[in-house]
Amino acid sequence: MPEVISIVVPVYNAERTLNECVDSILSQTYSHFELLLVDDGSTDKSGVICDAYAAKDSRVRVFHKPNGGVSSARNLGIDNIWGGYLTFVDSDDYVDRNYLLHLIEAFGGNMDLVVGGYQSFGDSRFEWRYESKCYEYAELSDCFGKHIAEMPFTAPWSKLYRMYIIQEYHIRFDTRMKCAEDACFNKEYLCHVRGIALIPYSDYFYYSVNSSEKYGANGEDCVYGALQTIRKYEQLTAIHSFDYQHAIKAIISIHGGRFYAYQLNKSFSLYGFKEFEMTYHALFPYLPMLRDSGGRVQKIYNTFITHDCLVLAFVLVRLLACVKIILNANLRIY
C-alpha cells in the first residue's frame, strides 16, 4: 500500500489564488494523499471555495477556525493528519504535478527529510535547484554548514517530513512568532533527523512579494522572534557542530529590518524612545551584524545603531517617517 502524504494548506482571504493552488495539488501524479485546507477566519469567499472542493473530492478535508495566524492554522492541520508524511503548501503558491512524486521517491533508509528547490514568481523571478545528494547522520554537520540559512531549509514548503518525528517530539509552530516561525519549526525538526535528501527538482512555485512594510513589527515581537530563532540554532549545534554565524546575521538583519519598517510606519513623535532603546539593548550582542544590511538610508541608520548612537538613529527614523507621510500625501493629491 503506497504511503499517504498529508498536505496542509493554511488559507486566509485567498480567493484570488486558492483555485490555482488547490487544482495543482489535486492534479498530482502521486494520488495517495489527503489535503487539509485550514480556513483561518477568512472574510472573503475562501471558506466557500474550500467547502466546494471537499464536496467534490473525498481526499479534501476542510477546517474552519477563528483567525489566529498562519502558525495556528498549520498547527490545527498537524493535529488532524492521517498520513505518515507531511508537506505544506501556501495558498498563494502552487506546485508542479510531480511535486509529491519527486518528494516521496527520495525517501528511504535513514532519510527523515527531503528538501527540494523552488521557482519564485511575482516581484522577483528566479529558480533554486539542488544537485541530488543524500546526507547520512555523520554528514549532517557538513549539510547544515552549507545549506542551513538557505530559504528551502527555512521555509515549511518544498520538503517532506516524517509525521512520527513531529508527533513524538510534539513539534509545532510558535503562534507568538509572526516571522521566522517556520525556521524555528524546521530547526527543531532537524534535531531529530537521521538523514536528509536533497532532490534536483524545483517543483514548488513561490509567490514573492517585495514589501518590507508588510512585515514590520514592534520591538517586543522582533526581540522574541530573533532570540527564539537563535536558541533553535544553538540547540541544533549542540547536536551537530557547524558554523552558523552567517545564519545568525541573516536572522538579525531580517528582524532588524522588520523593526525599522515598523518605525517608518509610525506617525512623527519623539515618544516611543523607551521601546526603541529596550529593543536594541535586548539584541545588543548581535547588533554588529546589522552593519551593511538594508538600503542606502537604512545603512546609515544601522551605522548609528551599531555604534550605540541610539538617539541619532531614533531621530533619523522619526524624520524619515515624517518625510514618508508628506510624500504619500502629495501622491494622493496627484
Answer yes or no: is pLDDT of 331 > 50.
Answer: no
pLDDT digits (tens, 9 = 90+) for 17-44: 999 999 999 999 999 999 999 999 999 9
Per the structure block, which three cell numbers stand in for 8?
496542509
% of the chain beyond a pLDDT of 70 = 94
Model confidence at 333, in pLDDT bands (50, 70, 90)?
very low
C-alpha cell at 175: 503562534
| Sheet hosting strand 126-128, strand order edge to edge | 94-95, 204-208, 118-122, 126-128
Q: Cell 518544498 identifies what position?
A: 158
Task: Report the pLDDT value the prediction gives residue 217, as an integer from 0 to 100.
Answer: 86
Cell of 10: 493554511
The pLDDT value given to residue 269: 65
Confidence of residue 330 (pLDDT cuts 50, 70, 90): low
pLDDT in tens, 278-303: 999 999 999 999 988 888 899 999 99
Predicted local distance difference test score (pLDDT) of residue 268:
62
> Model-level pTM?
0.91
Angle (deg, nearest 10), helices 219-237 and 181-190: 20
pLDDT digits (tens, 9 = 90+) for 74-99: 999 999 999 999 999 999 999 999 99
Q: What is the pLDDT of residue 334?
A: 42
| Secondary structure (H, E, C), 189-202 | HHCCCCCEEECCCC
Query: With pLDDT > 90 as the criterion, what percentage of the chain qualifies?
Result: 77
Instruction: Kindly report, residue by residue over 253-284, the tens digit of the pLDDT.
Output: 999 999 998 988 876 667 789 989 999 999 99
**Rg of the Cα atoms in the chain:** 21
Whether residue 46 is predicted with pLDDT greater than 90 in this model: the reply is yes
Q: Which residue type occupies 5?
A: I
Residue 217, classed as helix, strand or coil, is: coil
In the predicted structure, residue 189 carries a pLDDT above the cut 90: yes
Quote the cell numbers at residue 191: 534535531
Ranking 129-138, 184-193, 246-255 by mean pLDDT, the lowest is: 246-255
- Report the chain's mean pLDDT, rounded to a whole number: 92
